[in-house]
A and B are shown apart, each in its own frame.
Chain A
Amino acid sequence: QKEVEQNSGPLSVPEGAIASLNCTYSDRGSQSFFWYRQYSGKSPELIMFIYSNGDKEDGRFTAQLNKASQYVSLLIRDSQPSDSATYLCAVKRGSTLGRLYFGRGTQLTVWP
């Protein structure tokens, strides 16, 4: 079982809709959870991080964490064509000296 699994996509939503991206992880000792966005041909950039159970909102983005279910999600409200990218879920385990485990990514397309 891979450390971090993401819904494989691709995901396509119309402009203005809510895009929902999901991620599960295998290690119950995982402490920190991250969402990176990667535009085609570019390097990943951090858009959200979450440590505690519940929701964390930042503008149009909401990260949700459920440690009991080992589940992390990212909601993008009012999706824009500029949100079209690959979204990478990453997890930091407690004892791994700062290394992150990445999922394979979900490609999102927002069409006008």
Chain B
Amino acid sequence: DAGITQSPRYKITETGRQVTLMCHQTWSHSYMFWYRQDLGHGLRLIYYSAAADITDKGEVPDGYVVSRSKTENFPLTLESATRSQTSVYFCASRSLAGETGELFFGEGSRLTVL
């Protein structure tokens, strides 16, 4: 089915481990985004990408790495997880020509770092 999917949906890891959250969209949208959502902070942008091989930092990029070798995939890696990275992570996409500018969100990945 068309859409945007994230995996894993739930992940528990330990401090210092590397974790990769996957995001895949089937619409061929140009823009893709990673947000984290925490109580009291709302949605904060981590990284975004305007096209394959083009990425840029958002508001809270420290401790995260992204890549975008293919238009449809936008993985987010926590190179050495910390407890402060416990959060719900949302991947989103939108098309270049999207009239409304609407973001389409994945279902979220809930990450717990012990």
Interface residues of A (CB under 8 A from B): 32, 34, 36, 42-46, 49, 88, 90, 92, 97-105
Contacts and interface: CB of A to CB of B under 8 A. Distances in A.
Interface of B: 30-31, 33, 35, 40-45, 48, 50, 56, 58, 90, 94, 96, 98, 100-103, 105-108
B42 A104 contact: yes
Closest 8 CB pairs of A and B: A104-B42, A43-B105, A102-B43, A98-B31, A46-B102, A49-B100, A32-B101, A102-B42
B31 A104 contact: no
Contact of B31 (A34, A36, A44, A97): A97
Contacts of A102: 35, 42-44
A45 B96 CA distance: 19
A34 B102 contact: yes
B101 A44 contact: no
B107 A100 contact: no
A44 B43 contact: yes
B102 A98 contact: no
A49 to B, nearest CB: 5
B106 A100 contact: no
Contacts of B103: 36, 44, 46, 90, 100
Contact of A99 (B33, B90, B108): B33
A73 B56 CA distance: 30
Nearest to B54: A97
Contacts of B35: 102
Nearest to A36: B103
B101 A34 contact: yes
A18 B42 CA distance: 24
Given A90-B103, A98-B98, A102-B44, 18 more contacts: A34-B102, A43-B105, A43-B106, A43-B107, A44-B43, A44-B103, A88-B42, A92-B101, A98-B48, A98-B50, A98-B96, A99-B33, A99-B45, A100-B103, A102-B35, A102-B43, A104-B41, A105-B42
